[in-house]
A and B are shown apart, each in its own frame.
Chain A
Amino acid sequence: MTPGSPHAASTIPPALLARVAKGEQQALSQLYDLSSTLLFSLALRMLGNREEAAELLQEVYLEIWSKVVRYDIGRGTPIAWLITLTRSRAIDRLRMRGTRTQPTTVHTVNGQTTPPLADHNLPPFEAQADQELRTHVSNTLSALPQAQQQAIELAYYEGLSHAEISARLNQPVEAAKTRIKLGMAKLRESLRHNWVQSERP
């Protein structure tokens, strides 16, 4: 997508999913173009393996294709649905591995990660709305205390329960839970205007 494109991953219109539900190949292709970089980045972050992330993404899009008729805008925005589906399937895979090996990722100062096999080609994630949201989320995350960031990332990207997180961080369970709650509350306050905007018609 080009920066001048009317849609970004964060603003995929529900009408596009309706067209996918009608079996329009072009609509599926467009949906892929808009969302694949974000979903692939998420899968890669969670699985830590490029090939497995690609395999997962293919399964996710096939599942979208088969399940799209069940999408209900009342449940959330299209991208929220796609992200939740991708994350759920990635967590399924992590659990099927049996042992939760920590993805071999490099943690940066602000808590973001760089996968070891990162594709250095410019990803088609250039729409202005996406870039602004990306900057905002990155800044908000990096403003959190590191312990809170870490706990949220372990929960979200590795699908760990709070008991597992407390073991991983060598902290009491209540401390781990509190960190997640405090971090999430700060994120909620800081990011609130984003979903208020996205819910506008």
Chain B
Amino acid sequence: MTHQELEDVIPLYAIGTLERAERQAIEAHLLSGCVPCHTALKEYQSVAVMLPFGLNMTAPPRSLKARMMAARSMTVPMEPVDQPAGKPSLEPGEWMNHLFPPETSSRAESFGWTFALVAVALVAGIAYLAWTAYNTKVGEDTVKFTQLQDQLTVDHSKLAAQQQLLNERERTLAETQEELRRQIAAMAELKDQLIQREAELDGVNAQLAQQNTRQRSMPQDELAALLRTPAIKAVALAGTEMSRHASGTLFYDSKAKRVWFYALNLPANSDGTTYQLWAMYEKPTPVGVFQIGTGATSQIFAKPFPAFASAKKFAVSLEPSGGSPEPTGPLYLLSQPLL
């Protein structure tokens, strides 16, 4: 077997696919000190140990480290046990043991080493002959054929990859279209819901308006009924210099002992203030508070009021929000003294 033939199978040796006889032939050749084969083998072995870096990485179980450390503490460092029977696995750099024997080997080990070398050389010689007989013809045509076949495989792979890419894009397009359809359907549903909500809102607004009308009309209805009562008494209030165009009317239902007050054309009270109606006895007594909103011209409210007869006059002043125990702000409406 020539150097070229041996060099040719070094990749197979490095990756560990050779049978025993073939391995031994290579090892014998390496023992001869062939530098190119030595270099090639070193590089192919470097390739082999890089292959696991291409794997998908998986972390070991978390408990393994603790188990290993615990087992290690019970283990006394020692020489490795014998290999199992059968084809022995390739130790790291095993072939290099022959090229670079350990410097610290003892005399007995050196003797054993020499013996092993001779034995290996003998076995390798026999294997070499066997190898030569076995590989008389390594057909170049086979190599070319395989290369062509591989090239064809590459082309097929590329075509398949393109086809796959196309399929992928078609699938993505279909998915996008489906998604678009879903979105349109969802939007239509949302629109329906919106229309429904708007209808509900209109209904609620209508009810609210009806309630407001009812609320507003109730005191007016009551007032209308009140005005038809014979026991009603009325007091007119005129605007002061603060509000010359304003006026107020106070009705007293002596039967229900309840006072009604109607204010007209008072200016809107600002935030933090309120109008307050006072009954003037020896000193002013608060009757009730009311608001005039922006744009409003009138206000009406009713309050229980038992002591109308002894009141000397009525007045409306502007007070801080919530009202005051006695008038503190300017008067806006004032009645004539009652007889």
Contact = CB atoms under 8 A, between A and B. Distances in A.
B4 to A, nearest CB: 13
Contacts of B15: 152, 155-156, 180, 184
B153 A32 contact: no
Given A54-B64, A119-B59, A180-B11, A162 B71 contact: no
List the 8 shortest-distance A-B pairs measured between CB atoms, nearest first: A75-B93, A184-B11, A84-B92, A123-B59, A88-B89, A137-B54, A40-B60, A195-B46
A80 interface: yes
Nearest to B70: A58
Interface residues of A, number: 94
Given A58-B67, A84-B92, A42 B55 contact: yes
Given A74-B100, A162-B17, A118 B49 contact: no
Interface string A153-181: 00110011111010000001011011111
Nearest to A23: B77
Contacts of A134: 53-54, 57
Contact of A92 (B45, B54, B83, B151): B83
B17 A155 contact: yes
Given A54-B60, A175-B146, A181-B8, A141 B84 contact: no
B161 to A, nearest CB: 8
Interface of B: 8-9, 11-12, 14-19, 43-61, 64-65, 67-69, 71-72, 75, 77-80, 83-84, 86-87, 89-93, 96, 100, 102, 138-139, 142-143, 145-147, 149-151, 153-154, 157
A124 B139 contact: no
A25 interface: yes
Contacts of B17: 155, 160-162, 165, 177, 180
Nearest to B48: A156
B59 to A, nearest CB: 4
Given A44-B58, A80-B46, 19 more contacts: A32-B68, A38-B53, A42-B52, A62-B71, A75-B93, A80-B49, A84-B90, A84-B93, A87-B89, A92-B83, A119-B61, A121-B59, A147-B150, A156-B48, A172-B142, A174-B139, A178-B142, A180-B15, A182-B150
Contacts of A2: none
A85 B92 CA distance: 6
A164 to B, nearest CB: 8
A155 B19 CA distance: 12
Contact of A113 (B45, B55, B147): B55
A179 B146 CA distance: 7
Contact of A40 (B59, B80, B151): B59
B19 A91 contact: no
Main secondary structure on A side of the interface with B: helix
A28 B72 contact: yes
B51 A119 contact: no
Contacts of A160: 17
Contact of A195 (B16, B18, B43, B143): B43
Contacts of B75: 62, 65-66
Contacts of A18: none
Nearest to B152: A145
B57 to A, nearest CB: 4
Contacts of B51: 137, 141, 152, 156, 187
Contacts of B12: 155, 162, 177, 180-181
